[in-house]
Amino acid sequence: MSLKERITDDMKAAMRAGEKERLGVIRMITSAIKQRKESVAQFQAGNRPDLADKETAEIALLQSYLPTPLSEAELDALIGEAVAASGAASIKDMGKVMAIIKAKAQGRADMAQVGTKIKARLSA
């Protein structure tokens, strides 16, 4: 089993078992990538390509340990399935849809982006 698979399996197991502290630590890996992406933008804006390159290399290394993110098409399909399964008809039902997706996409999608997509879908 690769380290990437182990991290993914550990994250799923922690979620199922309700082990909040363990899950939090595993999620810090994902958070480290976000922080580095923000740092890259700041270093580029500050004309520090040397530091931006270092952060970019760290991002690539960290991402090699994470589960593969969902593509836009996969995410859209998952939202469609969740809307159908929950019977959501308006923005009031967003919580139901989000709960279904959170269980399936946690760690593989930015939940803020998911929320935005669900709002757009239910508002249409």
Sorted by where each begins, the domain ranges of the chain are 3-63, 72-123
Q: Is the pLDDT of residue 1 over 60?
A: no
Tokens of 29: 């890996």
Q: Residue written as tokens 């550990």?
A: 10
Rounded (10°) angle between helices 72-86 and 111-123:
60
Which CATH number describes the domain made up of 72-123?
1.10.10.410
Q: Which residues of 57-83 are buried (b: 16+ CB within 10 A; e: fewer)?
A: ebbeeebebbbeebeeeebeebbeebb
pTM reported for the whole predicted model: 0.56
Kindly report the average pLDDT of the chain as a whole number. 86
Tens of pLDDT, residue by residue over 103-113, are 888 778 888 88
* DSSP 8-class letter at 2: -
Q: Give the pLDDT band (50/70/90) at residue 4.
A: low
